[in-house]
Every structure is written in C-alpha cells, then in structure tokens.
C-alpha cells in the first residue's frame, strides 16, 4: 500500500516470535518508541540512523502476543507539536481531508489507522498527543493513567506526563491493545501493577457523568461543542446521569503544562550531543562549540524553542516564579479533578476545541499552537486516563468526545465509550 | 521583557545555537510565551508540595543488560570499548 498521507517514516515489517491475541495483526508504532534493529528517529535529524539495541517494553509485549510491527509512524519532532508538521520528514496529511493536518504529535499513527493502512497503532500522549490526532482523524485514542503502561524504551520528552496509548478504529480494538501493553514492568520505576483484562462491555446506565463548564467555554467552536452536547445527550438516553461540575484551576493548566514540559525537555534532551548516537561532532573543536553545532543543525525550531524556554524557566532567579509555581498549579488541578471524580464516575467534554486546521495554519505562531491543547493537557497534569471517541462531524471534519476517568479507571471509560459507539 | 542578549546567553547555556537571523523572532516569541505564563505568578503557594509516592527500591543484584558492543553500536569510531568525544580543554 502506498503511503499517500506520509504517515510513515519507515515501513519495515517485523514479526514477533510469539503468538497470542494479536497473532498476525499489524500494529504501527510511533517513531519515539524504541524498536530493536529498526531505525527510531523521533522525527528528528539528530537521531537519523539511530538503531536501538533493545525493544521498548510495549514492543516486547506486542511481539509476545504475535503482533507484526508494521512501520514507524511520523510525528512532531520529539512529540513537540499538535499538528505533525514539526517533523524532519515533512508533514503527515489528514486522510479525511488532505489539505488539513492530522493533529499531533502522534499524527502518523492516527493517519495510518484513519487511512486504513492498519487497524491498530501505538502513540504517546504527553499533553494530548494521542487524543488530539484521534479526534481530528476520527479514530479512537486512549491516554492511560500515569504509570499503567511502562515507559521503558519510550524516548523521553516530558517524562512526568507521558504515557504510551492505543489508537484504533474502534473501542474493542483499543481495549484489546491496551490489555497487551498495560501492567507492571520493573524497568520503569513509575510503573504500577495494574494489568487490564481486556473484557470491555457496553456499560453506561446508572453512571454519573460530570460536564465541566470550562470544557465549553470561550474558544471552543460552536459546531464542535454542539456535536459533543449531542453525544452527551445520547449517553443520557442510555441511562447516564448528567451533572454540571467545575474545575476552577483549569486556567492555570496550559501555562503549568508548558512550563513543566519545557523544563523536563531541556534536561531530557541534553543527551543528544552526537557522542553516543546521532551526527558526529567535530572532534577537534572545544566541546561546547562541537555540541552546539550538532544540536543547532540537528534539532528543529520548535525543539530548540522549548529547550530554551525550559532552560530559562529553570535558571537562577526564575525557578521559583515558573517551575515551582507550575508544580503548585499541578497540585491544585489534580485536586479539582479528584473532587469532581469523587461524585462522578467520569467527566465528558470535547477532546479538541476546534476541527483539524489547514496545513500551515498554526505553524507561524507557537503560542496559538500551544492553545490548541487547552482541553487535553489537564488530564496529563492530573495523571488520570482519558479516551477520545469519534462523535459526528463539524464543518465536515471529525469531532472527538473526550471521556476522562478516575485514576486507574480505564475500565469505566472504555465501557462507556463502547456503549456510545454501539448506540450510534 | 527578556532581551536578545539574554536569549543568546540561555542558548549558550543550553548548547543550542541560535543564528543572528533567528534571534529577533525567537526573542519576540519567547516574550509572548512568557507573558502567557505570567498567570502562574498570581498563584499563592498552596501549602507544601505533596506527592503520594513511595521510593521504588530493589536488591542490588546483577541482572542481564545490553552488551558493551550493543551500547557502542550507534557511536562514531569507538576506541577500546569507549566512545569518543570532542576535546574538553
């Protein structure tokens, strides 16, 4: 099959030696997940030619269940972006309208699924990178609770937020793929022992769904919120109790997210200097000069911008003003979600405030690009799980319904998502 | 307001490199983003920062790991089992 959407960076096909519930199933993998003997670049020139000597834990699990690793998918470089335009390999196109972006950063995985190239893919979600492209391409995407899926072998960008998650054509496949990758891994010290049995059933009756008013506020497209309200109406018809809730600290979410992720990125990306992998530094130059040359040529504009922001926010005199305050905001946001989820079984709202923008529409202004993440980052800050399920179209493009669950409450949101999917 | 020379200084600290052609635009974007972050400064400290975490320890036992050969496979001209790096002085 030709890759007309530029969904792939590398189309290698590798079959695992195991057999199990994914026997013969082709699964595409975001290019920031390490695959032994298959080039893994994070869509960056700085990792061109890098061949991981080991598999990420999720790849070991997929191979053990008989899956075929079907190519490495395009993404925003190191996961930094919301459109899959920040890639050294060019933008991925949205299969629903090729003049539009697929969303990001796991845009290649979403396009591969939406374009019918595979039925399952893995993405990673730091601030919405699974759910955003799932919503904009009209597929299902699950961001697991922090710690439920091992990050071993996931090339780190902002490790206190990120999780690997399934992207699939339907909820049953998302549950199946999640059951393969969830569970304890001693190689990730934040991994928890909470496997998932994969028994997804359509179940929504009697559940209480909170609707945070902040998810329908200023900046949310009327067409999008209309479709999501219709979907919530459907859930009510199926027997759910709908209640209004509020997350008052959400106004701090986006700045707290961007301060924290850029700080973590500035540290995590320090390892890319060309010495152990990547382009060779000039050995006869003083080391700062040699590394600067490698990094200036190897990293794209957005990656360098975030490293600069993070370095600044962690520097003497600014650490208390930015990083420490961001951690306080994180605590407040987590408390807001915990309070709302004490009375509610889950929360619901749009995944993205708008439909997929045209190619080039968001790239000129980084701040505008960051603001597209307003409805997805709060979940990463709180650490809770969330799923995006297709729910109709606005302006002829797919809209995503976002269901957010209690910590380790993936079962509840997967069951609710299935109930919705089967009813429409 | 962060000035161009401060952005240059941060770029030096981060070994990131920034060309004179990019400097004006980077500084402008940098300031717009920092202004957006300012709302954080209106936040009062919400008591001590708490993380409901426990340390994850294991016995100090040798377990299988990647080989030295594999670890060096992506480096340029390794020598006697070591990577090569630019000179430090």
- Residue A257: is its pLDDT beyond 90? yes
pLDDT of residue A126: 98
pLDDT of residue B88: 81
Residue A114 CB contacts under 8 Å (≥ 6 apart), including other chains:
A94, A95, A96, A102, A137, A138, A139
A159, burial (CB in 10 Å: exposed 0-12, middle 13-18, buried 19+): middle
Question: What backbone torsions phi and psi does residue A318 show, to the nearest 5 degrees?
Answer: -115, -15
- Residue B47: is its pLDDT beyond 80? no
A30 given a catalytic annotation: yes
8 Å CB contact between A416 and A291 = no
The share of chain A scoring above pLDDT 70, in percent, equals 100
Q: What is the mean pLDDT of residues A47-71?
A: 97
- Residue A258: is its pLDDT beyond 80? yes
Cβ contact, residue pair B10, A54, below 8 Å: no
Q: State the catalytic residue, choosing from A105, A145, A225, A249.
A: A105
Q: State the catalytic residue, choosing from A28, A30, A45, A145.
A: A30
Query: pLDDT by residue (tens digit) across A197-245?
Result: 999 999 999 999 999 999 999 899 999 999 999 999 999 999 999 999 9
- For chain B, positions 38-77, list CB contacts with chain A under 8 A: 38-41, 43, 45-46, 49-50, 56, 58, 66, 70-76
8 Å CB contact between A181 and A174 = no
- Residue B65: is its pLDDT beyond 80? yes
Q: State the catalytic residue, choosing from A106, A124, A129, A225.
A: A129
| Residue of chain A whose Cα is closest to the Cα of B85 | A275
| Residue of chain A whose Cα is closest to the Cα of B50 | A331
A133-142, A363-372, A412-421: least confident range: A363-372
pLDDT of residue A1: 65
| Residue of chain B whose Cα is closest to the Cα of A314 | B10
Ordered structural domains, chain A, with CATH: 7-424 (3.90.1300.10)
Nearest to B15 among A291, A329, A332 (CB): A291
Query: pLDDT by residue (tens digit) across A68-125?
Result: 999 999 999 999 999 999 999 999 999 999 999 999 999 999 999 999 999 999 999 9
Mean pLDDT of chain A: 97
Cβ contact, residue pair B71, A53, below 8 Å: yes
- Residue A327: is its pLDDT beyond 70? yes
Q: How many CB atoms lie within 10 A of CB A23?
A: 13
Query: pLDDT by residue (tens digit) across A349-390?
Result: 999 999 999 999 999 899 999 999 999 999 999 999 999 999
ipTM score of complex: 0.94
A105 given a catalytic annotation: yes
B87 touches chain A (CB under 8 A): yes
> What are the chain A neighbours of B4 within 8 Å (beta carbons)?
none
> What are the chain B neighbours of A282 within 8 Å (beta carbons)?
86
Q: Give Cα separations from A2 to A7, A297, A314 (angstroms).
A: 10, 31, 45
Q: How many CB atoms lie within 10 A of CB A16?
A: 21
pLDDT of residue A237: 98
Ordered DSSP codes for A270-289: GG-SSSSSSSPP-TTSBHHH
- Residue B51: is its pLDDT beyond 80? no
Q: How far is A186 from chain B (nearest CA, A)?
A: 9
* pLDDT band at residue A334 under the 50/70/90 scheme: very high
């Amino acid at each position: 099959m030709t890759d007309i959407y530029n969904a792939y960076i590398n189309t290698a096909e590798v079959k695992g030696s195991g057999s199990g519930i994914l026997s013969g199933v082709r699964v595409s993998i975001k290019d920031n997940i390490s695959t032994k003997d298959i080039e893994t670049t994070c869509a960056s020139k700085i990792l061109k030619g890098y061949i991981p000597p080991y598999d990420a834990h999720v790849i070991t699990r997929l191979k053990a269940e008989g899956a075929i690793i079907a190519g490495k998918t395009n993404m925003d470089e190191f996961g930094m972006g919301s459109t899959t335009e920040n890639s050294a390999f060019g933008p991925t196109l949205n299969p629903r309208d090729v003049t539009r972006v697929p969303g990001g950063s796991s845009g290649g995985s979403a396009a591969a699924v939406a374009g019918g190239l595979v039925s399952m893919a893995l993405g990673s979600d730091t601030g919405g990178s699974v759910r955003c492209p799932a919503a904009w391409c009209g597929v299902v995407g699950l961001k697991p609770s922090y710690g439920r899926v091992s990050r071993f072998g996931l090339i780190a960008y902002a490790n206190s937020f990120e999780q690997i998650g399934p992207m699939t054509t339907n909820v049953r496949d998302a549950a199946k793929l999640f059951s393969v990758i969830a569970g304890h891994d001693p190689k990730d010290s934040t991994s928890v022992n909470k496997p998932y049995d994969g028994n997804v059933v359509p179940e929504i009756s009697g559940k209480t769904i909170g609707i945070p008013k902040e998810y329908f506020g200023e900046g949310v497209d009327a067409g999008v919120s209309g479709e999501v309200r219709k979907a919530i109406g459907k859930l009510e018809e199926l027997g759910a109790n709908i209640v209004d809730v509020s997350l008052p600290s959400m106004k701090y979410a986006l700045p707290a997210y961007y301060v924290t992720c850029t700080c973590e990125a500035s540290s995590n990306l320090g390892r890319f200097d060309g010495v152990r992998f990547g382009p060779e530094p000039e050995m006869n130059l003083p080391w700062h000069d040699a590394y600067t040359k490698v990094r200036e040529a190897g990293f794209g504009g957005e990656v360098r911008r975030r490293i600069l922001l993070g370095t600044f926010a962690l520097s003497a005199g600014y650490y208390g003003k930015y990083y420490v305050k961001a951690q306080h905001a994180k605590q407040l946001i987590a408390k807001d979600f915990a309070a709302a989820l004490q009375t509610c079984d889950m929360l619901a709202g749009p995944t993205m405030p708008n439909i997929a923008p045209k190619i080039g529409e968001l790239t000129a202004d980084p701040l505008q690009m960051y603001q597209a993440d307003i409805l997805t980052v709060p979940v990463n800050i709180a650490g809770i799980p969330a799923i995006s399920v297709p729910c109709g179209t606005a302006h002829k493009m797919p809209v995503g319904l976002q269901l957010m669950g209690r910590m380790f409450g993936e079962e509840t949101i997967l069951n609710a998502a299935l109930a919705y999917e089967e009813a429409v | 307001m962060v000035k161009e020379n401060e952005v240059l200084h941060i770029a030096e600290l981060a070994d990131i490199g920034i060309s004179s052609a990019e400097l004006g635009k980077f500084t402008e974007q940098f300031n717009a983003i920092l202004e957006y972050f300012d709302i954080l400064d209106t936040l009062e400290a919400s008591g001590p920062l708490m993380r409901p975490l426990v340390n994850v320890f294991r016995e100090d036992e040798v377990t299988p790991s990647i080989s030295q050969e594999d670890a060096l496979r992506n480096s340029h001209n390794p020598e006697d089992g070591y990577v090569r790096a630019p000179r430090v002085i």
